[in-house]
Amino acid sequence: VSWVPGTDPPPTPLPSSSSRCPTGGDSALSQEALETLAEEAGFSGSEGRSLAFTRAASVLKALPGQLSALEEGQALGSGLSLSLGQDVLEDGVSVEVERVKLSERYRTMKLFTKIFGVGVRTASRWYQEGIRTLVDLQERNTKLTRQQQAGLQHYEDLNTPVERGEAESIGRMVQEAVQRFLPGASVTLAGGFRRGKPRGHDVDLLLTHPEAGREAGLLSAVCLSPHQGLILYQHSQENSFALHEGPEPPGGRDVLDRFERCFSIFRLEVQGRPGAARGWKAVRVDLVVAPVGQFPFALLGWTGSRHFERELRRFAGHERKMVLNSHTLYDTRLNLFLPAASEEEIFQHLGLEYVPPTQRNA
């Protein structure tokens, strides 16, 4: 079976008798427009609508070229028109997107959720309290977590894209630290960079060791005994995964995993930054440690994209009655864990053709 998640048309196509464009007369339905609507729905706590827009955006991403209104309607399905609502259907999508982008709430929510450590709930609370700017936040002495303080302090750097070269430098830095502590341990660049993206919002690194058990505590080498000044912020968590607990229920906490990990901010030396007053930049780094037996699952899970992972896990559950997460693959019909030594083997277990990382950007 050849399958790329997010490209399968939703199950309920619009009735073909409808000659009207389901997304408004102007039909300026772009991926970007849909992503804005997804974001706005997320800000309002409408997860279902947000997901419908995200799915629709990735359908557009997968379909090259301009679509006719009719094709568009068929590709996107009626779920989307329901999500858009009647007023938008009448006025057109681009009018709605402009309205959203100009609204004070959207702009403020966007500003706040770009602070490391601030989610929709916190941003929404601040908005309700009348806070509108980053200066407001500081002047009103708003209570901030240690993570949010670091996020505010490095706001500009953390919202400047990380270039591939910078990600590779950080990979090498971590590799050196890890090697000194545990020879033979490896560091793998995951996340968007593994999918071939030229820049990203952070650096995702996966650590392991070929001998199971040796990897335990590896993070302390990098995060807890910091080479002075390299780490500006770190929050570590121990491994809390136990195989004997059995698989997580499908649809449960399928994005979060329980590896030993460290969410951090590194201080990266950069030379000749144009216009920069200082020779360094703050960069968000996620470090994750996986035992070698779970490594392929961790790699698959941490390579993303989030949308790809969501669709792949949904496929595993619905089509194969298997539970896939970043630790294991569990077959609920055979009642057993399916081991894998590579990502390729996981796709084989799922009865799918291998999808290389560069094709997981949906």
Catalytic residue among 157, 202, 254, 257: 202
Catalytic residue among 91, 136, 286, 331: 286
Q: CB-wise, 79 or 191, nearer to ligand TTP?
A: 191
Residue with tokens 């990897």: 215
Alpha helix stretches (DSSP H) within 249-358: 295-303, 306-320, 343-349
> Is 91 a residue of the active site?
no
Contacts to ligand TTP from residues 241-260, by CB under 6 A: 255-257
Give the SS3 label for residue 330. Answer: strand
**Shortest Cβ 201–Mn ion spacing (Å):** 4
Give the SS3 label for residue 337. Answer: strand
Q: Which residues of 82-113 are buried (b: 16+ CB within 10 A; e: fewer)?
A: ebbeeebbeebbbbbbeebeeeeebebbebbb
From Mn ion, ligand TTP, none, which one binds at residue 306 (CB under 5 to 8 Å depending on kind)? Answer: ligand TTP
> Is 202 a residue of the active site?
yes
Measured from the Cβ of residue 362, the count of other Cβ atoms closer than 10 Å reads 19
Q: Which residues of 212-224 are buried (b: 16+ CB within 10 A; e: fewer)?
A: eebbeebbebbbe
Of 206, 186, 121, 191, nearest to 161 (Cα)?
191
Check if the beta carbon of residue 206 is closer than 8 Å to that of residue 298: yes
From Mn ion, ligand TTP, none, which one binds at residue 334 (CB under 5 to 8 Å depending on kind)? Answer: none
Does 6 engage in binding with ligand TTP (CB under 6 A)?
Answer: no
Decide: residue 256, CB within 10 A, 0-12 exposed, 13-18 middle, 19+ buried.
Answer: exposed
**Shortest Cβ 310–ligand TTP spacing (Å):** 9
Contacts to ligand TTP from residues 106-125, by CB under 6 A: none
CA dist., res. 348 & res. 359, Å (int): 17
CA dist., res. 350 & res. 275, Å (int): 51
From ligand TTP, Mn ion, none, which one binds at residue 247 (CB under 5 to 8 Å depending on kind)? Answer: none
Residues lying near Mn ion in the complex (CB under 5 A): 191-192, 200-202, 204, 286
> Is 257 a residue of the active site?
no
**Shortest Cβ 140–Mn ion spacing (Å):** 28
**Shortest Cβ 335–ligand TTP spacing (Å):** 25
Does 202 engage in binding with ligand TTP (CB under 6 A)?
Answer: yes
Angle subtended at Cα 358 by Cα 319 and Cα 204, rounded to the nearest 5 degrees: 95
Q: Which two tokens stand for residue 209?
A: 């060791």
3-state secondary structure 194-221: HCCCCEECCEEEEEECCCCCCCCCHHHH
Angle subtended at Cα 19 by Cα 14 and Cα 22, rounded to the nearest 5 degrees: 55
Find the Cα–Cα–Cα–Cα dihedral 327, 51, 355, 361, rounded to 10°: -110
**Shortest Cβ 346–ligand TTP spacing (Å):** 15
Sole binder of ligand TTP in the list 200, 247, 250, 357 (CB under 6 A) = 200
From ligand TTP, Mn ion, none, which one binds at residue 257 (CB under 5 to 8 Å depending on kind)? Answer: ligand TTP
Q: CB-wise, 60 or 158, nearer to Mn ion?
A: 158
Contacts to ligand TTP from residues 312-341, by CB under 6 A: 326
Q: CB-wise, 68 or 159, nearer to ligand TTP?
A: 159
Sole binder of ligand TTP in the list 234, 264, 305, 328 (CB under 6 A) = 305
**Shortest Cβ 261–ligand TTP spacing (Å):** 7
**Shortest Cβ 43–ligand TTP spacing (Å):** 18
Does 296 engage in binding with ligand TTP (CB under 6 A)?
Answer: no
Contacts to ligand TTP from residues 161-190, by CB under 6 A: none
From Mn ion, ligand TTP, none, which one binds at residue 256 (CB under 5 to 8 Å depending on kind)? Answer: ligand TTP
State the catalytic residues.
Answer: 202, 204, 286
